[in-house]
Amino acid sequence: MTEKLYYIDSHMKTFTATVLACEPVKDRYEVVLDRTAFFPEGGGQAGDSGFIGDTAVFDTHEKNGDVMHYVNQPIPVNSTLDCRIDWEKRFRRMQNHSGEHIVSGLVHKKYGYSNVGFHMGAEFVTIDFDGFLTPEQLAEIEREANYAVAANYKVTASFPEPEVLKTLDYRSKLELTENVRIVEIENTDICACCAPHVSSTAEVGLVKILSSERRRRSGDGVRVTMLCGLDAYENYTRTHDNNAAISMLLSARREETAAAVERVLAEQERLKQRNAELSRALAHLRAETLEPTDGNIIIFDTVLDEPALREFVNEAVTKCGGLAAVFSGSDEAGYRYIIGSRKIDLRASAKEINSGINGRGGGSREMIQGSCPDSGSSEMIQGSCKESAENIQKFLSIYNI
């Protein structure tokens, strides 16, 4: 069985070990050392990476008490090599994991809720609790968690004897009876955990709860997204820089950017409504100027919004005996269309019409709409309509396209 140095010293970065086995497994090699500081995946924490000699270790797992180090090339058995773990990655994980214990311990003490799910991803840490917590309650938990960090409480790990274990009030997702590793954070939490942790809460540095949402599988639970330590600091730096940029763009103080954004959005909504009113008015004026025809009305537009275009078509169909069609867009970006008629069953004719203009869409008997992104220029669309009329009889050659 591999001697697990990470249980002796969670801060061990380098060590010397002898290769006991190296076996090919699919597209990789599985290496067993006599001793290792590489933590294998477990307890919600990913396995360590690093180097055995000059050979990169890209993942680690535990199998039958041994730690499997996964590499891309064979390493000679019985060779003794200097090894090193990717310490920055490991330390960040320890910060996040110990921070999760602090938060989970405080939630359990204060509200009696249990941590029923924990995931440490590449970007965020998530914790699932079996009870709901309001934003105000989570803000209080975050404050207390950072006070615990500032208090520099000791973090210790041990394997209590079964008799001692029975007397401990510790958090655990499983019923455990032997070889149970207990991680204790002074005045804060006692939890069963197999992963390496920081030595004191001060090493966590910072605890930041980023968001929360109701758990999808349990309406009574909550999923909390958070970051700790250097990851939390870097997240704060990005947020600060973004806020500073918004502050400059809106000429607002940094602590007042939210209010400034609200004002911009309110003005945007006002202008949007005003633009819609003007679009409808313009559509009505354009429709009024149309000359009645027994044929079709086809126009191209770059100004009106979609509701106004629909209103235009609704008025235009009263002035033509065939189709009233409007295409909005450009030759470069493609066109969207709305086509209406009082005499033609457009739902039945949609396939022929779309074929003629290289379009996609559909609708009702009286109106269809869609897009023709690959139809080319407006002249080509009109040409397609005419060609379609000649080749498909039914695309309304009888309506003089």
Tens of pLDDT, residue by residue over 303-337, are: 888 899 999 999 999 988 888 988 888 777 788 89
- The pLDDT score that the predictor gives to residue 95 is 98
Q: What is the mean pLDDT of residues 133-143?
A: 97
Indicate the average pLDDT of the chain.
90
Lowest mean pLDDT among 42-56, 65-79, 330-344, 385-399: 385-399
What fold does the segment set 3-85 form as a domain? Elongation Factor Tu (Ef-tu); domain 3 (2.40.30)
Which tokens hold the place of 17? 């070990």
- How many angstroms separate the CA atoms of 35 and 177, rounded? 26
The pTM for the full model equals: 0.77
Q: What is the mean pLDDT of residues 11-15?
A: 98
Domain boundaries, the chain: 3-85, 91-238, 278-399
Q: Which CATH architecture has domain 278-399?
A: Roll (3.10)
Please state, in angstroms and as integers, the Cα–Cα distance from residue 281 to each residue in 268, 290, 380, following that order: 20, 15, 30
% of residues, the chain, pLDDT over 70:
92
- The pLDDT score that the predictor gives to residue 323 is 86
Question: Sign of torsion, CA 12 13 16 22?
Answer: positive
Q: Considering only CA atoms, which of 295, 283, 145 is closest in space to residue 206?
A: 145
The reply to whether 3-85 and 278-399 are identical in fold is no
Which tokens hold the place of 43? 């307890």
- How many angstroms separate the CA atoms of 105 and 196, rounded? 17
- How many angstroms separate the CA atoms of 76 and 56, rounded? 14
For 291, the 3-state DSSP assignment is: coil
- How many angstroms separate the CA atoms of 203 and 216, rounded? 33
H helix runs in 251-370, sequence order: 257-288, 306-316, 346-357
Determine the Cα angle at 304 with ends 299 and 310, to 5°. Answer: 70
Question: Is a pLDDT exceeding 60 seen at residue 280?
Answer: yes
More confident: 189 or 354: 189
Question: Is a pLDDT exceeding 90 seen at residue 208?
Answer: yes
Q: Considering only CA atoms, which of 308, 345, 344 is closest in space to residue 326?
A: 308
- How many angstroms separate the CA atoms of 356 and 368, rounded? 14
CB atoms within 10 A of CB 200: 17
Question: Is a pLDDT exceeding 70 seen at residue 226?
Answer: yes
- How many angstroms separate the CA atoms of 126 and 223, rounded? 7
> pLDDT digits over 356-401, tens only?
788 889 999 999 999 887 655 566 665 555 444 343 334 444 334 3
Q: What is the mean pLDDT of residues 262-276?
A: 95
- How many angstroms separate the CA atoms of 198 and 95, rounded? 7
- The pLDDT score that the predictor gives to residue 376 is 56
Q: Radius of gyration of the chain from Cα atoms? A: 34
- How many angstroms separate the CA atoms of 325 and 382, rounded? 11
Phi-psi region of 190 (alpha: psi -120 to 50; beta: other; left: phi over 0): beta
For 278, the 3-state DSSP assignment is: helix
> pLDDT digits over 327-368, tens only?
888 777 788 899 999 888 888 888 888 887 888 899 999 999
**Residues 165/192, Cβ–Cβ less than 8 Å:** no
Is 91-238 CATH 3.30.980.10? yes
Which tokens hold the place of 290? 């149309």
% of residues, the chain, pLDDT over 90:
68
CB atoms within 10 A of CB 154: 12
Q: Considering only CA atoms, which of 391, 401, 386 is closest in space to residue 341?
A: 401
Q: Which residues, 6 or more positions from 126, have their beta carbon under 8 angstroms from its beta carbon?
A: 117, 118, 119, 223, 224, 225, 226
For 329, the 3-state DSSP assignment is: strand
